[in-house]
């Protein structure tokens, strides 16, 4: 069945995945620097991965980390499984819900060795066979790769793991921009001051106290004020239209039902997710472009997705979705509960979902 999923993640709006650091942005030059407090304004940078190209040069590329995507995929798969349970008129325990959402009930896994029966039970389950987890911390089957911008250096570094069409889409070196912005302080700027006077208790007294505090802080701290909400800052982001090389490899053979759940999970991710931060401002929109699904027989299927969404008319897609639908009819809340916390005397094979 499905062995590998390859695609380009195309940013449809600015992408901002924040990274810690002391970056500053100088509006006069449009450049960013690290360290120091005297240049420009604070700037929130993005996550990057360092690669050494064939010339031995260290190159810093924006990255969408694998754990970022895999965590989102897990939650979308959990939503699909929970919907199947809801349609059966059932509910799950909080423990089962936690395991489906993040892979564990608590931060202290069982720690005991997994028996062969337990391994088979987890491996054959549509959800756990893909995403792993549970008290025995079953290893997930999905091997999600960091997504890096399509570039001659990243394609060379990825080798045979690069998208088959990566060389056709080589991009330049400039993937990011920086925006500077200001949070306004209406009271400090005397905006709608008449409205404030009508609705704020003890307006004259309170406003004068606040204004004097702001003026005093500005004098002492050379223009800054902790009392005012007026601030200047900047934000780094990946430009819209950037292509990221993205792939998921199956570490072992999966069933048709698991393949169906996998493709539905990717479709759900593409439909509703926003990658990174500032989604409320339109950041993080993306699509899957040029999707290639490689099956165990070495055949490349290029019609599984169309216009960034799952093509349910494609024969391969229709086949695995049918298998998932059949398997979803047998998903049972009690069986999942027994899977993560077997009842006393129960055998590993009892209640498999």
Tokens of 347: 């055998």
Query: Mean pLDDT across the stretch 283-303?
Result: 94
Residue 7, strand partner residues = 246
243 φ/ψ sector (left φ>0, alpha ψ -120 to 50, else beta):
beta
Q: Is the pLDDT of residue 277 over 70?
A: yes
User: Higher pLDDT residue, 147 or 107?
Assistant: 147
Q: How confident is the model at residue 111 (pLDDT cuts 50, 70, 90)?
A: low
* Mean pLDDT of the region 123-131: 91
- 43 close to 32: Cβ distance less than 8 angstroms: yes
CB under 8 Å to 187, separation ≥6 — which residues? 193, 196, 207, 210, 211
Q: Cα separation of 329 and 84, whole Å?
A: 7
Torsion angle (degrees, nearest 10) of CA 4, 7, 13, 19: 50
Q: How many CB atoms lie within 10 A of CB 124?
A: 16
Judged by phi (left if over 0) then psi (alpha if -120 to 50, else beta), residue 12 lies in alpha
SS3 288: strand
- pLDDT, residue 109, reads 63
27 pLDDT tier (thresholds 50, 70, 90): confident
Output the CA angle 316-322-323, nearest 5 degrees.
95
In the predicted structure, residue 348 carries a pLDDT above the cut 60: no
Tell me the mean pLDDT in the region 22-35.
78
Instruction: Give the span between the Cα atoms of 190 and 213, in whole angstroms.
Output: 16
- Number of CB atoms found within 10 A of residue 258's CB: 28
Question: Quick check: 321 and 311 in contact, CB under 8 A?
Answer: no
**Phi, psi at 198, each rounded to 5°:** -80, -25
34: enclosing H helix or E strand? strand 31-34
- Whole-number mean pLDDT of the chain? 85
Residue 133 near residue 141 (C-beta atoms within 8 A): no
Q: How far apart are CA 77 and CA 63, in angstroms?
A: 23
Indicate whether 324 pLDDT > 70: yes
Tokens of residue 315, six digits: 């024969």
3-state secondary structure 243-258: EEEEEEEECCCCCHHH
**What whole-number distance in Å separates Cα of residue 212 and Cα of residue 317?**
67
309-310 vs 305-306, strand pairing mode: antiparallel
- Which range is least confidently modeled, 135-149, 205-219, 309-323? 205-219
User: Residue 328 corresponds to which tokens in the numbers above?
Assistant: 């979803």
Q: What is the mean pLDDT of residues 57-71?
A: 94
pLDDT of res. 203: 78
Position 106 pLDDT exceeds 90 = no
Q: What is the pLDDT of residue 309?
A: 93
pLDDT confidence of residue 349: 44
User: For residue 352, what pLDDT is reported?
Assistant: 36
Q: Buried b vs exposed e over 97-117: b needs ≥16 C-beta within 10 Å?
A: ebbbbebbbeeeeeeeebeee
């Amino acid at each position: 069945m499905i062995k590998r999923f390859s695609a380009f993640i195309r940013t449809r709006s600015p992408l901002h995945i924040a990274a810690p650091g002391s970056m500053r942005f100088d509006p006069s030059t449009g450049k960013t620097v690290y360290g120091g407090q005297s240049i420009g304004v604070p700037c929130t940078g993005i996550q990057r991965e360092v690669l050494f190209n064939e010339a031995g040069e260290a190159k810093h590329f924006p990255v969408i980390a694998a754990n970022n995507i895999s965590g989102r995929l897990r939650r979308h798969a959990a939503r699909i499984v929970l919907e199947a349970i809801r349609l059966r008129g059932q509910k799950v325990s909080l423990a089962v819900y936690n395991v489906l959402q993040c892979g564990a009930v608590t931060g202290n896994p069982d720690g005991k060795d997994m028996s062969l029966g337990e391994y088979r039970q987890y491996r054959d389950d549509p959800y756990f066979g893909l995403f792993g987890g549970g008290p025995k911390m079953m290893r997930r089957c999905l091997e999600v790769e960091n997504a890096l911008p399509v570039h001659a250096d990243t394609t060379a570094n990825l080798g045979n793991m690069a998208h088959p069409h990566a060389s056709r889409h080589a991009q330049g070196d400039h993937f990011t921009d920086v925006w500077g912005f200001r949070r306004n302080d209406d009271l400090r700027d005397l905006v709608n001051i008449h409205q404030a006077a009508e609705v704020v208790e003890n307006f004259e007294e309170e406003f004068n106290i606040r204004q004097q505090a702001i003026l005093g802080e500005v004098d002492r701290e050379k223009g800054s004020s902790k009392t005012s909400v007026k601030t200047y800052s900047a934000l780094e982001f990946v430009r819209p239209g950037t292509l990221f090389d993205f792939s998921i490899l199956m570490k072992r053979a999966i069933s048709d039902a698991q393949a169906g759940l996998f493709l539905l999970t990717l479709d759900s991710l593409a439909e509703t997710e926003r990658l990174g931060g500032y989604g409320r401002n339109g950041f993080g929109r993306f699509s899957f472009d040029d999707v290639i699904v490689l099956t165990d027989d070495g055949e490349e299927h290029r019609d599984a997705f169309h216009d960034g969404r799952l093509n349910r008319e494609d024969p391969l897609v229709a086949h695995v979705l049918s298998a998932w639908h059949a398997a979803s009819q047998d998903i049972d809340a009690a069986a999942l509960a027994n899977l993560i916390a077997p009842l006393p005397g129960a055998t590993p094979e009892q209640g498999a979902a």
